[in-house]
Structure 1
Amino acid sequence: MKERDVVERFLAAHFASAEIAVVGGSTARGTRTPTSDIDLLVIGDGLFADGRQSLAGGFAFDNEFFEVFAYISAGFSDWAERGVAQHRPVILHMLTEGVEIRGGERLEELRSTWQPILDRGPTADAHELAFRRYVITDLLDDLRDSTDALERQVTASLLFERTAELILLTLSRWIGAGKYLPRRLRELDADRADALSAPLLTGMFDAFADRVEAELVVAGGRVQSGFVR
């Protein structure tokens, strides 16, 4: 990884006591663009002098921009568990898939602890899945009934997100935010992702609504009357 030197200098300048440092994102995958930052996971019990457990923030350094997620050991566990509970374990994916800068045996121990949890995938109970179908049912009706162009565009975008999440969670696959959501859907089933996204990308909202309705049926159908949150 050609960015290793600048990462090492950044660590020396800002997180010298880091025991574990892992680069994630496009830098780790070798797919950086001109505006890509460097996603950096840092773990160490001596990182903070003010008693905090975690820090998430941006740092400009040597013509690069670092997006840093830093934790003491207990803070990392807390945030990792929170990500699992929300079905979006970002820092665990960084930990297990990223490029090691520092870590050695300690990093391998953490990876061996959390990898089986990632491999099992998320567990969304029946009530949560029903609630997600309830939300999609409501948005779907809004999309079909709306005549305002902006309202339809916004509603359709929200509907894509909620439907993609439902597809993934129904099949015990992790969800993602922003660009990572369509990526995870494509990883699951590229044809299914294309079928859902194609009418949305071309502004064919009625066809998009039909596709969402079909996915809703696969997940168990519409939820509306009688549902209690």
Structure 2
Amino acid sequence: MTIRDSAVHAAKKFIEQYFPVAEVVFLAGSIVRGEATESSDLDIIVFDGSLDHSYRKSFVEFGWPIEVFVHSFHTYKDFFKENRDRARPSLPQMCAEGIILKDNGRAASIKNEALALLKRGPLPWKSKEVDSARYEITNLLDDLEGSTNPAEDLFTVSRLAAKIHEFVLRVNGCWIGEGKWIVRALKEFNEEFAECFVSIFDEYYKTRQKHRVIGFADNVLKPYGGRLFEGYSIGKSRPKE
């Protein structure tokens, strides 16, 4: 039995025991994508029309760690909207890629809704959001350039990597990632850029040399006006009396 077959078998037994009245069930995650490792878990999305709320719960059953995301046929729509607003499509991605384990006839429509949302992409950034990101990256670059504390630099660079990834993907109308999904999201956008991104930050963590990180960030900002500090404002200044 393959890992995938074993996972499907375990997931079905799990649903029978814990969610026997579930109407639609998807199995998603690394198992489905063929990317399973020794630490992979089962991501199971459960739809139960009798619920008026959603919740998430972790189990260890049938030899697998299992994460269950439980929704009604209304709450998942709120999560789809929230995922689009924050540009991280975790639930739509799971529904789109998931294997159908149980279906009352609504699984296909949920999948199609998820696929359409993924294709549509996140809400586009407005100029104020671009400027806000430029300002934050500028502050991080200023901190890095002026720092003489290598321990602090580790965390400044980590934050800078996350913000650069977000900036590049959002200004290009793409979904962003978190954790290991940062590199995956960048690769989906542009393989060459992703390789450059990884190379530059990998070199920094090996050598602690800042110049390539700083130059890379400046090149990312350049088409959008470069660094931003002077004149940047949030809210509205009170008039002088």
One fold, TM greater than 0.5?
yes
CA contact (8 A) 1:170 1:219 kept: no
1:166, 1:219 → 2: CA distance?
10
Name the SS for the 1:105 alignment partner.
coil
Displacement of 1:220: 3.6
Q: What do the CA deviations read for 1:61-94 (whole angstroms, capped 9, x no partner)?
A: 1111011111111111111111111111200011
1:39 corresponds, among 34, 40, 43, to 43
1:218 corresponds, among 205, 220, 223, to 223
Q: What do the CA deviations read for 1:137-177 (whole angstroms, capped 9, x no partner)?
A: 11111111111111111110110110001111111110111
Match of 1:61 in 2: 61
2:9 corresponds, among 2, 5, 21, to 5
Match of 1:26 in 2: 30
1:114, 1:99 → 2: CA distance?
14
Displacement of 1:96: 0.8
Change (3 A) 1:105 1:218: farther
Most deviating of 121-130 and 63-72 = 121-130
Match of 2:74 in 1: 74
Name the SS for the 1:70 alignment partner.
strand
Name the SS for the 1:57 alignment partner.
strand
CA contact (8 A) 2:92 2:117 kept: no
Identical pairs, percent: 27
CA contact (8 A) 2:41 2:64 kept: yes
Match of 2:93 in 1: 93
Q: TM-score when scaled to structure 1?
A: 0.93
Match of 1:130 in 2: 131
Runs of 4+ in 1 over 4 A off after TM superposition: none
Match of 1:197 in 2: 198
Change (3 A) 1:93 1:225: same
* Aligned partner letter, 2:74: A
1:107, 1:223 → 2: CA distance?
47
Displacement of 1:104: 6.0
* Aligned partner letter, 2:167: L
2:198, 2:146 → 1: CA distance?
20
Match of 2:239 in 1: none
2:68, 2:84 → 1: CA distance?
20
Could you list the runs of 5+ residues in structure 1 that have no partner in the other structure? none
* Aligned partner letter, 2:136: V
Match of 1:144 in 2: 145
1:107, 1:94 → 2: CA distance?
12
Figure out how many residues of one structure are paired with residues of the other and give that number: 225
1:219, 1:158 → 2: CA distance?
20
1:195, 1:37 → 2: CA distance?
31
Change (3 A) 1:107 1:220: farther
Q: Greater Rg, structure 1 or structure 2? A: 2
The Cα RMSD (Å) is: 1.5
